[in-house]
Amino acid sequence: MRLDLTQLIKSQGISKDINYSLDLSNLELFGYYPFKKPIIVEGSVYNICGALVIKATANAIFDGLCDRCQKEFSMPVSVEFESNIALKETGDVGQDTIITNNGMLEVDDIIKENLILSIPMKLLCKDDCKGLCYICGNDLNDKKCNCIS
């Protein structure tokens, strides 16, 4: 979704709502396509005393493979973020500031970046996943094996 911020820049105290679904089904991460269902995005961009701010939430279902047992699993992912928006780069832009080109804001890129950063480095189907036996390969969540005594 591309937002035109030119009117918002000129008027203090107004906002522009963001409500849409984002299709990231073709996004590949870790050799897998984790977002099979659309991401629901809600939020707004507002002008407070001449400063533009975006505040939004993205809700998604992440589909992945467990790093321990290799089973497919799904988990809900909810990302909230708030960032300042700058029309052009100045010397003291903070790391939470988004630079726009010609007053246009590409919301999809911001959502995608925040979703990817929210995914844990170690993907687990459940916190206490026992994984696979390194000798026989049995899933230790389903049954015990006698390989390790």
β strands within 7-71, DSSP E? 15-22, 39-48, 51-65
Q: How far apart are CA 25 and CA 35, in angstroms?
A: 5
What Å distances lie between residue 22 and 27, 43, 129, CA to CA? 11, 13, 31
Beta pairing partners, 105:
3
Range with lowest mean pLDDT among 40-44, 103-107, 111-115: 103-107
Q: How many CB atoms lie within 10 A of CB 56?
A: 20
Predicted local distance difference test score (pLDDT) of residue 84:
85
Residue 91 has pLDDT above 70, yes or no: no
Spatial contact of 41 and 57, defined as CB atoms under 8 Å apart? yes
DSSP-assigned letter for residue 38:
P
pLDDT score of 75 more than 70: yes
